[in-house]
Structures are given as C-alpha cells and as structure tokens.
Structure 1
Amino acid sequence: MTKILNVRNLEKSYTSGSRKLTVLHDISFDIERQETFSIVGPSGSGKTTLLGLCAGLDRPNSGSIELCGTELSTLTEDQRAVLRNQKVGFVFQDFQLLPTLTALENVAVPLELQGAKNAATVAKELLEKVGLGDRFDHYPSQLSGGEQQRVAVARAFSNRPEILFADEPTGNLDAETGETVIKLLFELNREAGTTLVIVTHDLELANMTQRVLRLKGGKILEPDAQN
C-alpha cells in the first residue's frame, strides 16, 4: 500500500514574549492509504497541533509533511486550501457548521466550491445515510448536538476525500450520542475507502483504529504499534 501521509522530524514552537514554547519535538510517522489511525495523549500533549500541521492548516518550524503525494512546504496558502478542498475532509469537536445555512446547504458547500452540478443530490443522499433525511431544511440552531455532528460527518464525506481528520469528534456529545456518531463515521469511511485519522483522549475509541500514536509532552511516547 502507498502512504498517504508521511511526517518526518516535525518541530513546532510558539514564542510568547521572550519565552519559546516547543509544542512538538521531532515527530516522525506515516499512514497508509485506507488505514484507520488515531493520535492519543493527555490534554496539552500536542495532538490538535499535530493534526493541524498534517492537514496543512498551519506550518511547522522544521521537518516535512507529505500529504496525498504533495510536500506541503512547497505550496502557498492558496494552494494548500485547494488541496484541502479537493482531498481532505474534517470533523471538529465543535461541529463548525455555518449557522446561516441549512443542514442540506452545509453538506453541499464543499461540493459547490468544487463546481459540482450535483451538490444538492449528493448532500441529500449523505444526510439520509446519517439518519437526517427529515432535517434537510433545519438550521444548526434547530438541531441537537448529535444531529449537528452527524451533519458535520456527512459534510466531511461530501467531496469524497482521500483522507479525513477528526479532532475529538465525540468531545461535546454524551456517551450514547457519541457512539452513534462514531459508528456512522466508521461506516461511511469504510464505504468510501477513505483514510481516517482521529485525534482523541478516548482510548476506547482509539482502540477501534488499526494503529495508535501516543503523544506526551509533544513527543511520541512509544512507536505507533498495531493494536
């Protein structure tokens, strides 16, 4: 299998006044296409920072990231945005739905940005798959947290991404609702043949993936290993 993500010697630090805070130290790993992979660690271990770097949302201080066959450091901000729109899906802890758009419109947005003519049709099919066929015209404020996250999961798959990054996807949900969302996430992922990368502090969720990378204090605690 070919690798969809290749991370080498990644370092990330921030400067606060005269103080330098290093968030990630010499991180190296890779992920195969269609693999399910999780990044775990306590709060402040650098999980979300690492995910943002891997997805091209931020730049490292040093090191390299190759995503979907492209070295991210060679791209401009606009080029990285195009790469994300065409090949990457996201699910965030706080849903990040557009409040002025209906559920259907939120799911259709990535497709419309690509100029797809069938955006509404695909969006309807995905919302039906996540059990929201009767919520097309509802706005985020009219949906429960679990329903909003299901809309977000449908949106993440709308542009048929090669890789999907999920950052604490059940963090704002109760246990039962979270289980429903995760089940849908894995089902849609399997159906689409997408690579799934989950950042979580939930070890039970992490153990559902094929491999786990453990972080602590911005360092890999141990080599990522098969469960």
Structure 2
Amino acid sequence: MSKILNVQHLGKSYLSGGKSLTVLDDISFEVASGTSYAIVGPSGSGKTTLLGLCAGLDTPDTGTVALCGSHLTELDEDGRASLRNKKVGFIFQNFQLLPTLSALENVSVPLELRGTKGAANTARTLLEKVGLGDRTHHYPSQLSGGEQQRVALARAFANRPEILFADEPTGNLDEETGERVVELLFNLNKEAGTTLIIVTHDLNLARRCDGLMRLKGGRIFNSETASHP
C-alpha cells in the first residue's frame, strides 16, 4: 500500500518572549493511502502545529514532508496552495463557514472556483447525504453547531480530496452531536476512499482510526495500531 503522507525528522520552533520555544522535535511517521490515522495529545503538545506542517500550511525548521507524492519543502507557497486545492480537504473545530453564504453556496462555491460542472447539484447531493437536504438555503447563523459541522463535512468532501485533515472536528459539539458527526465523517470517508488524518484529544475517536500517535511535549510519546471496538 502506497504512503500518501511521509514525515521524517520534523522540527518546528517559535520565538516566544525572546526565547526559542520548541513545539515539535524529531517527528517521523508514515500514513498509508486510504487509511485513517489519529494524532492525540493534551493541549500544547504540538498536534495542530503538526497538522499544519503535514498539510503545507506552514513550513518546518528541520525535516521533510512528502504529501500525495510531492515533497512540500521543495514547493513554494503557490505550489503548496495548488496541491492543497487539488488533493486536500479540511475540517476545523470552528467550522469556518462563510457567514454570508447559504449552506448550499458554502459547499458549491469551492467547486465553482475550480470550474467543476454541476457544482450546485453535487453540493445538494452531499448535503442530502449529511442529512441537510432541507436546510440548503439556510445561512450558518440559522444552523446549530452540529449542522454547521455537517455543512463543513459536505464541503470537505466536495472536491473529492485524496487526503482529509480534521482538526478537533467534534471540539465545539456536545457528545451526542459529536458522535453523529463522527459517524458521518467515517461513512463519507469510507465511501470516498479518502485518507483521513484526525487531530483530537478524544481517545475514543482516535481508537476508531487504523493507527494513532500520541504527542507529548512536542515529541512522539508512542504510536500504535488502533483496535476497533
């Protein structure tokens, strides 16, 4: 099975109060195409920073990231943006929907920007899959948190990404709503054959993945193959 993500000896530091603060130290791991992988750890362990580096949203100080067959460190900012646009999907804790667009428009606009034909029909089909077929013309402010995250799910899968990065996808949801969103996420992912990388502090969610890595203080604490319930 081919490796869609290959991270080797990754390091990242930031200046804080005039001092260098190491956020990630010598991180190495691989993720096979079509699998799911969780990155877990407490707040401040470097999870979100690592996700940003893996997705090419930021650049490391040391080490390399190969994503979808491209070495991110060899691409400039435009090259990384182009790769993300073509092959990567995102789901964020705070949904990041455009408030002035309806649910349908939030899902269809990224498709229209890529010149995809039938964008509205594709968006409508995806919204129906996540149970929002009757809320297509509602704006984010008219939707609950769970509904907004379901719109975000539909948007993330609209471009048929090869890999999907989810940063605390249930972090702003109550337990019951979060479980429903997780079910939809894994079902859509299985149907699309997408690789799924989840950053979470929720071990129950992490253990649903094919593999997981624990971060502590910017280093790998341990990694394991998850056992599914």
TM-score higher than 0.5: yes
Deviation of 1:226 (Å): 4.2
Supply the distance in 1 between the matched residues of 2:4 and 2:68 (Cα, whole angstroms): 5
Structure 1 residue aligned with 2:141:
141
Say what the alpha-carbon RMSD is for the aligned residues: 0.8
Structure 2 residue aligned with 1:20:
20
SS at match of 2:60: coil
Supply the distance in 1 between the matched residues of 2:194 and 2:110 (Cα, whole angstroms): 16
SS at match of 1:186: helix
Supply the distance in 2 between the matched residues of 1:23 and 1:16 (Cα, whole angstroms): 11
Contact 1:107/1:123, CA 8 A, preserved across alignment: yes
Contact 2:102/2:138, CA 8 A, preserved across alignment: yes
**Quick one: percent identity of the two aligned structures?**
69
- What are the Cα deviations for residues 105-128 of structure 1, in whole angstroms up to 9, with x where unaligned? 111122112111111111000000
Structure 1 residue aligned with 2:223:
223
TM-score normalized by the length of structure 1? 0.98
Supply the distance in 2 between the matched residues of 1:217 and 1:124 (Cα, whole angstroms): 43
Q: Match for 2:150: what amino acid?
A: R
Structure 2, unaligned stretches of length 5 or more? none
Structure 2 residue aligned with 1:157:
157
Which of structure 1's runs of 4+ aligned residues deviate more than 2 A? 223-227
SS at match of 2:99: coil
Q: Match for 1:194: what amino acid?
A: T
Describe the shift of the 1:226–1:173 C-alpha distance in structure 2 as closer, same or farther (beyond 3 A).
closer
Structure 2 residue aligned with 1:128:
128
- What are the Cα deviations for residues 198-224 of structure 1, in whole angstroms up to 9, with x where unaligned? 000000000000101010000000134
TM-score normalized by the length of structure 2? 0.97
- What are the Cα deviations for residues 9-48 of structure 1, in whole angstroms up to 9, with x where unaligned? 0000001242000000000000000001000001100000
Supply the distance in 2 between the matched residues of 1:182 and 1:223 (Cα, whole angstroms): 22
What is the number of equivalent residue pairs in this alignment?
227
Supply the distance in 2 between the matched residues of 1:133 and 1:225 (Cα, whole angstroms): 37
Structure 1, unaligned stretches of length 5 or more? none
Structure 1 residue aligned with 2:110:
110
Deviation of 1:74 (Å): 1.2
Supply the distance in 1 between the matched residues of 2:77 and 2:104 (Cα, whole angstroms): 28
Contact 1:85/1:110, CA 8 A, preserved across alignment: no
Q: Match for 1:24: what amino acid?
A: L
**1:173 and 2:169 matched:** no
Supply the distance in 1 between the matched residues of 2:223 and 2:209 (Cα, whole angstroms): 15
**1:81 and 2:73 matched:** no
Q: Match for 1:15: what amino acid?
A: L
Contact 2:208/2:226, CA 8 A, preserved across alignment: no
